[in-house]
Amino acid sequence: MPKREVPDVFPSAVETSALLELAEETLLRHAGPIDPVLVDRASGTLIWDREGKEYLDFTSGQLCATFGHNPAPLREAILASFTRTVHSSSLLLSEEVIRLGERLLALLPPELSKVTLLSTGSEATEVALKAAKMATGRWESVGVSRSYHGHTAGAAAVTFLPRRLGTGPAPSGVHALPAPYCFRCPIDAQYPDCGFACIDVGMTAVDVQRTGEVAACIIEPILSTGGMLKPPAGYLAHLRARCDERGIQLIIDEAQTGLGRTGDMFAFESDDIVPDIVALSKSLGGGFPLAAVAMTDNIAEGAERNGFRFLTSHMNEPSMAMIGLTMLALARRHVEEQSATRQGERLESGLGTLAQDHEIIGDIRGRGLLLGIEFVTDRSTLEPAPDAAVAVWRACRERGLLVQVVSENVWRIAPPLTVDDDEIDRSLSIVHESLTEFESR
């Protein structure tokens, strides 16, 4: 095939249809079909495509643009950094890197006293698991069904979603606890009478299956991609206790929940626990590749003593650290202003009102501005309705609202913390119109 001439200026005058054809020819379909929306620009809660159509982005750019698209402080941080150093070496530090570590640890419990800066959430999972294993001398691990922690080898091993299928055998020594899916309890129990039986049953199963000692248990404080599952009050504290009984290090993956998304700076705070390791990404970079792992002195010292090494070309980037410092400042401001709590209450209340008129809304769950809707055929049988979830999602998209179908019949609704009342009300109107259209078929 002859080489195409690549334009020097973007955006070009090439039609969207031609660009989509080029995408089909040249790009790997890494997540299913290529999306037909080609983004031209974004600002705050809004995205515009190349034809000028406006969308309310209630996905927050895949939960990275937590403080809005292209906020002015982010642009200023990028420009300030680019006039000094964009990249040096993962083995060389800059003041920005050191200050970001200091300020991140200042937001966490004092027991978490060491931090490393990375590029992605998957890397953060890898470092968390590796550090726990090397510090303890153990090698097995525990995840939670319907969890999501990334696509690299170690992260994928503790991710228990259908995307595991077709990839061959996972590493040995990896176990899963039943998910805290109270709406469809996997062991047919009822909270609070269950006493967190999903944890106890799961840990008993791990005890009889393991062939060595378990180093770590990893969990999201809200299981987002696996169906927007918010564990009931006390769940994380009970899991913490069961891990302590077995000498298991507890890793909390705050990739999708951290930095004010749920109302607290970190979602684990609502259960009043202290993790051994915290993994953070997405919001920390505001759309740029930045992640972090914080851990206790015991883990850091034990891992280092036993020869811990983890190197990539883009650790400790000064430019990303400048961005991270800016994101932490924005997070502190929004937590102080209770942005997620206040706007989340408005959004959740509006969704609750919609549920009164639309039988296919089976459950609304989440916290702050991380909410989910589970679609059912009717509320008597609670039969999952994936066709409804997809059809209504498409109708909302046509009307200018972007949400995500994260599990077969579950939506994730997660607007930026900068979302205003009018934008929330507009989104609710679009969802209502789309639900009405579907139910009238």
Average of per-residue pLDDT values in the chain:
94
Tokens standing for residue 281: 């990404």
Quick one: what percent of the chain has pLDDT higher than 70?
Answer: 98
323 contacts 285 by C-beta, under 8 angstroms = yes
Predicted confidence at residue 304, as pLDDT, reads: 96
More confident residue, 161 or 109: 109
Instruction: Give the residue from 159, 182, 175 showing the smallest Cα distance to 231.
Output: 182
For the segment 76-87, the average pLDDT, to the nearest whole number, is 87
Q: Is 222 exposed, middle or buried (0-12, 13-18, 19+ CB in 10 A)?
A: buried
Q: Can you tell me the distance from the alpha carbon of 33 to that of 19, in angstroms, rounded to the nearest whole number? A: 15
> pLDDT tens across 371-411, in order?
999 999 999 999 999 999 999 999 999 999 999 999 999 99
pLDDT interval class at 1 (50, 70, 90): low
Length of the chain: 441
Segments making up each domain of the chain, as ranges? 91-336
pTM above 0.85, yes or no: yes
Instruction: Give the residue from 250, 230, 225 showing the smallest Cα distance to 132.
Output: 250
pLDDT interval class at 107 (50, 70, 90): very high
Residue 352: which residues within 8 A CB-CB, separation 6 or more?
Answer: 364
> pLDDT tens across 210-242, in order?
999 999 999 999 999 999 999 999 999 999 999
> pLDDT tens across 305-336, in order?
999 999 898 999 999 999 999 999 999 999 99
Beta-bridged to residue 218, according to DSSP, are: 251
Classify 292 as helix, strand or coil.
strand
- How far from 435 is each of 344, 358, 360, 388, CA to CA, in Å? 21, 7, 8, 9
Domain 91-336 falls under CATH 2.30.110.10 = no
- Whether the pLDDT of residue 4 is over 70: the answer is no
